[in-house]
Amino acid sequence: MNEIVEELRTAFYSVWHRRWIAIAVAWGVCLLGWLAVSMIPNSYESRARIYVDVDDVLSDQLGIAGDGREEIMRVRQTLVSTKNLKKVISSTKLGEEITETAQMDKAVADLAERVEVTSQQDNLFEIVATVGKSDLSDAENALLARNVVQKLLDIFREEHISGNRAEINKAIAELDEQLDERKAELEAAEQRRLAFEAQYPELIGGSATLSTKIQQARTELRDIEADLAAASSALAAISGQLASTPRTIVGGQNAVGPQAALMQARSQLAELRARGLKDEHPDVVSTAKQVRLLEQQVADAGPDGAGGTPNPAYSSLLAIRADRQASVESLQARRAALQSQVASLMASQASSPEIAAEANRISRDYEVLRKNYEDRLQDREDIRTRGNVVDETSKYKFDLIDPPVVPQKPVAPNRPLLLFGVLVVGLGAGAAVAYGLGQLKSSFATPQKLERTFDMPVIGSISLTISEAARALEQKRLKQFAGACAGLVGMFVILLAIEFVSVATVA
């Protein structure tokens, strides 16, 4: 412990003995350091916070809502891209003296380090810009920081709104090209289908449709056969009832012969034809059949029977039988036509498997192309509707929570701390130089150091004795040294005062 104290005493003596060198070095280092600190430009920071509402009710209702958070994150990440930073530099004082590409690249790299876009929450973003140019005044730097943040905000809005609009237009253009290609392919496929169907009408729609047609025809044939069986049974029943019913009634007061019934039937037939009904109409067929039966009845009855009183029940049953017989004949004709159709379809299916396969391929290709075309058409309409929503409502709402303002105080450098640090470094440098010079001398400040150095006992030491004149001179020099030290501290205080005054002036 004594040795440490002794070393400290020795060091202090060495520095004190060369105090004028120490204070001179301190002044030199402090002046140079303070000059360097004064040359550092002030940096001003401006910031803004923006809230983006991605919950778009209208887009949700239309069913065209996208992932808004993903889009906003993409815009935030690309906000500090080289292209956007060039826009900021070109529109502010940062780009006034830039004339070459290398200068622009350097300015972009420098600005990229001074701009931050951070996400405080999912929908809350903060933009911070720090600006400090040596060729601008503090007021201009403060205003420039605000302008940089404002330009970034403008780009943030433009990148999202106009960016969405550009993406939508690009998507619509691409879909238009695809629609034109699909339309040409669809028209060509439709022409092939129409040509094939004109050549093979029974294969319209492919072999699957042919099988469906056969199945439908067979189902209809079964229904016709069931109806024919019921109609034949009803015809047999009415024929049996008619056979047991007399044609005439003997002794009637208003007796009229078969001739009257025949005339009435012919009148009904003429009336039906006058109404424009063709011979194939069921009523015309039934009435004509009744006329033929009455003519046969009149011919069979002869002159005597034709003048008897007709039986109304027999005439009614006769008309019913004629109607049912016409229904049976119509069902038989329909059954024959269906049987012929089924046979033709089955023959087409069995005789030309390669043609059926071709029909399947043409039909399948046409359906696929038609579906693709309709899907692309629907996609284009959805995107166009989305574009209209973007134009009308800007899709997402931007709220500027904290707008950028002109900063009142610089954020860097911390000049008072730097000035104090220079002062400390200057004093330390002076003391170090004085101590170093003392180490180069071969003198000893204390007897104990001399004894340790040579490892020999020191018998004694002689104290320094000075005269009154020398003591007065020493006091004078001590005051001068104190004045030099006070001047150094005073210079530090003056520089601090200047710094505070300059900051207050900017504010």
What separation in angstroms does the CA of 162 have from each of 47, 126, 165, 179, 308? Answer: 24, 21, 5, 25, 102
d(CA 174, CA 379): 11
Q: In what order do the strands lie in the sheet with 44-53?
A: 115-119, 124-131, 44-53, 397-402
CB 138 within 8 A of CB 502: yes
d(CA 328, CA 3): 142
DSSP 8-state class, residue 41 = P
Could you give the 3-state DSSP secondary structure of residue 90? helix
What pLDDT is stored for residue 82 in this prediction?
87
Neighbours of 500 (CB within 10 A): 12
d(CA 347, CA 353): 11
d(CA 414, CA 430): 24
Could you give the 3-state DSSP secondary structure of residue 178? helix
What separation in angstroms does the CA of 252 have from each of 257, 310, 312? Answer: 11, 9, 12
Q: Which residues of the chain have pLDDT under 50?
A: 56-68, 207-208, 250-255, 303-304, 306, 391-395
What pLDDT is stored for residue 23 in this prediction?
92
What pLDDT is stored for residue 1 in this prediction?
60
d(CA 234, CA 76): 87
- CA 409, 413, 415 angle in degrees (round to 5)? 90
d(CA 366, CA 48): 58
Beta strands 124-131 and 115-119 are antiparallel
Q: Per residue in 247-261, pLDDT tens? A: 665 444 444 556 667
Amino acid at the residue 207 = S
Tokens representing residue 120 in the block = 């405080």
Nearest Cα residue to 256 out of 302, 197, 308 = 308
